[in-house]
Amino acid sequence: MSPIAHTVSLGDRAYEVRIGNGVSQEAVTRAAAERAKGRVVVTVTSPGVQKALPTLVKALAEHGPVIITQADGETAKSSAELARIWEGLATANMGRDGTVIALGGGVVGDLAGFAAASYLRGVSFIQIPTTLLAMVDSSVGGKTGINLPQGKNLAGAFHQPQVVLADTQVLQGLPVREFSAGVAEIIKYGLLGDSALLAKLENAGRLTWNHPELAAIILRCVEMKANIVAKDERETAESNGRALLNLGHTFGHAIEAVAGYGTYLHGEAIAIGLSMAATLSEDLGFLSAAQVKKVNDVLALNALPVRLTKPLMAEDLLAAMRRDKKTRSGALRFIVMHQLGTAVTQDNVPESSVRKALVACGAV
């Protein structure tokens, strides 16, 4: 089947997100063409991806150096790893006409993208997302960055890729847990803005890499994110806008930080965050108990957690939320659901309601 695609409309920085079996090979063709012009191409990947996709890594290595992160997972999104990649680009003599290829999940995409955004004040980069989560969310929209000890993604830049190549074939080798983590972001899109997508997820059964509707579901998520990004690329809208994509993330990022990065996969933390956001929305009078159950049921259908696996202190989670970059003037800001499929930004949420949502999902 031919690839399907959607264009992220950002004027002269517009680019395609191409989805289909085998589209990652297009990166090899592009790398060969750039090298033929005398330009430097450097691929950034991780140990896990190198092991899972040795043929693709070897093909890209024929056209330029490959930098492998020193670890898989969130710990790679560090200032030390960023500096190591900068030095690798400099060693390769990359000029402003060079290209960085990010081959990996959201961590590699964020890290390599930030390196591309900041090296020589910006060089081109290509995203080849290798996880479902990265395909439907982090590879699209130009957010790049690293974590600091104080919180997730606190340093970064907006830097749009040349193209995103979402090769569904690579998902075949993705661990089941990793695949399920990506489904959390798909569910998020249904909850924040597409009740029809949510209904499809309820009726589709558990998603798998070879599910007949997966490519179309990925495309729908990309369309939704692209439309939001085109209207509010840098998340500056006073309300709604790109901030809606953070549904469940204020909770989820706090869970990751307090539990320790790597304890939960990002999508697992977001799944619990979505359950917390639903509970918060109920406490604020927007959702019914039956609707909260529906959220939890579709998460559980895809083997995602809706409660903390081990209790965390509510006070620690609240402290992490106060450090989150999504706060405004020191006040907590949340994305809440007025209905399933309709989300809005909400300022000045009572801390008692937030605490109640935390405790309902296993905090103490």
Q: What is the pLDDT of residues 294-310, one digit of tens each?
A: 999 999 999 999 999 99
* One-letter identity of residue 273: G
What is the model's pLDDT at position 238? 74
Residue 96 per-residue DSSP state? T
Taking CA atoms, 158 is separated from 113, 117, 185, 212, 233, in Å, by 9, 8, 20, 34, 8
Judge whether 166 and 4 are in contact, CB under 8 Å: no
* One-letter identity of residue 316: D
Q: How many CA atoms lie within 13 A of 247 on its CB side?
A: 30
Q: Is 126 helix (H, G, I), strand (E, B) or coil?
A: strand
* One-letter identity of residue 11: G
What is the model's pLDDT at position 326? 58
Which residues have CB under 8 Å from 361's CB, separation 6+?
Answer: 272, 275, 276, 279, 306, 307, 308
How many Å apart are CA 362 and CA 355, to the nearest integer? 11
Which of the four pLDDT bands, split at 50, 70 and 90, describes residue 3? confident
Which of the four pLDDT bands, split at 50, 70 and 90, describes residue 139? very high
Q: What is the pLDDT of residues 262-289, one digit of tens each?
A: 899 999 999 999 999 999 999 999 999 9
Judge whether 277 and 248 are in contact, CB under 8 Å: yes
Q: What is the pLDDT of residues 51-61, one digit of tens each?
A: 999 999 999 99
Q: What is the pLDDT of residues 346-357, one digit of tens each?
A: 988 999 999 999
Looking at the DSSP bridge assignments, the partners of residue 99 are: 41, 124
State yes or no: pLDDT of 325 exceeds 60: no
State yes or no: pLDDT of 291 exceeds 80: yes
Calculate what percentage of the chain has a pLDDT beyond 90: 84
- Work out the burial of residue 290: count CB atoms within 10 Å of its CB; fewer than 13 is exposed, 13-18 middle, 19 or more buried: exposed
Q: What is the pLDDT of residues 250-268, one digit of tens each?
A: 999 999 999 998 899 999 9
What is the model's pLDDT at position 322? 87
State yes or no: pLDDT of 214 exceeds 90: yes
Q: Which domains does the chain have, with CATH numbers?
A: 4-173 (3.40.50.1970), 176-360 (1.20.1090.10)
Q: Where are the alpha helices (DSSP H) in 92-154?
A: 106-118, 132-133
pTM above 0.85, yes or no: yes
How many Å apart are CA 213 and CA 233, to the nearest integer? 29
Q: How many CA atoms lie within 13 A of 21 on its CB side?
A: 9
What is the model's pLDDT at position 58? 97
How many Å apart are CA 313 and CA 336, to the nearest integer? 22
How many Å apart are CA 89 and CA 99, to the nearest integer? 10
What is the model's pLDDT at position 262? 84
